[in-house]
Amino acid sequence: MTLRPPAPGHLLARIALLSFSIAASLLGGSQASAGVPVRVTLQGSVEFNGFASGPLSNVDVGEGVTLSCLLDSASFVNSGSFPTRGYAIDKPSFRLQFAAGSMGLQNPFPAGQTPYFVLRNNDPGVDGFFISTNVDVPAGVPLPQVGSFGNVRNDSSVTYGPTAIPSLDILQALGTYDFTGLSVYNWTIDDGPFNPMGIVFESLVIERADAWESLGGGTPGSAGQPLLEAFGTQQAGADTLIELSQAPPGALMLAWLSFQSVPLAALGGTVYANPFNAQFLRVSSPSGTDTVAFAWPAGTPSGVDLYLQYLVQDLATLHDITLSHAVTASTP
């Protein structure tokens, strides 16, 4: 990845704003309110289609279907009646994709309602997932197409045995779910009490929404190679999480941020955040970690490459400094 050609003055000012915003977040420390971005993806194929009008009437039997959305692991509501927890879906991220086209959620979304991806844990004796505006029971979510009974709804749910997930924490439910251990599923597009479209469920994937890529370059230290991870989609307002682990307790550290990369062999590894555009002094926790969480700043330009890497003080090593591996991303 390379930095794009020089930009007009207003664009350079926005890049400076991006650097300042990230700097303020790094210098300000961790904000516990932000969680880990999580992507949910359902795959299936159309079993039958009774829609005679509207965009869904163009969908053929047998074609593939993908439903995807983004969540925040810290944004959830627990049911007061059942062992279920609903994670709020980021509305613009919701996409129901067919070969003939795609659609999002009803927009504007009904006032007072929230779309949730809901986890069930021992409810009772079963685990599972469903998409709904109700964290207690499957009720589906409204789509833009209007049917005979108002907006049609996507109704998706899958049920497994009681050991499929260990808790209602979505970060403990990361993985791929398919027909293995499946007891029942439902995936329909509903028009009131009727189900004009049925979809055969194939798989459900729950994963961290990593828009950041690891480049390597790290060096071993007394607590292992410092491990740097970054999560987030670089969309305005999206939660961004930067985590460093495996550093010595209370170690002084420099976080280097760069908008281009000229790799430099040093300290037995490779510095990818070179030359750095900004650096931030950090101190690892007693457990050898550093966590920074913030909302991605609005108004940042697209096509900007970001490189982040930590230099960690480690007096038990040959050079007294170890490198984390570098992570990189490009703004969309």
Read off the pLDDT of each residue in 125-146 and give the average, rounded to a whole number: 97
The span from the CA of 239 to the CA of 329, in Å, is 15
3-state secondary structure of 13: helix
Query: What domains sit in the chain, N to C, each tagged with a CATH number?
Result: 9-30+210-330 (2.60.40.2150), 37-208 (no CATH)
Q: Is the pTM of this model over 0.75?
A: no
Residue 307 makes CB contacts below 8 A (sequence gap 6+) with 215, 256, 257, 258, 259, 260, 261, 272, 273, 326, 327, 328
- Each residue of 218-258: pLDDT tens digit? 999 999 899 898 887 777 777 777 888 899 999 999 899 99
Any idea what the Cα angle at residue 176 is, between residues 174 and 178, rounded to 5°? 140
CA distance 132 to 55: 22
Indicate whether 30 pLDDT > 70.
no
Q: How many CA atoms lie within 13 A of 299 on its CB side?
A: 12
Are 88 and 75 in contact by the 8 Å Cβ rule? The answer is yes
Q: Are 127 and 121 in contact (CB under 8 A)?
A: yes
Q: Are strands 239-245 and 227-231 parallel, antiparallel or unpaired?
A: antiparallel
Q: What amino acid is encoded at 20 in this protein?
A: F
What count of other Cβ atoms lies within 10 Å of the Cβ of residue 99?
A: 13
pLDDT at 33: 42
**Positive or negative: CA dihedral 28, 29, 32, 37:** positive
> What average pLDDT does the structure give for the chain?
86
pLDDT per position as a tens digit, 311-320: 999 999 888 9
pLDDT digits (tens, 9 = 90+) for 40-92: 999 999 999 999 999 999 999 999 999 998 888 889 999 999 999 999 998 88
Confidence of residue 280 (pLDDT cuts 50, 70, 90): confident
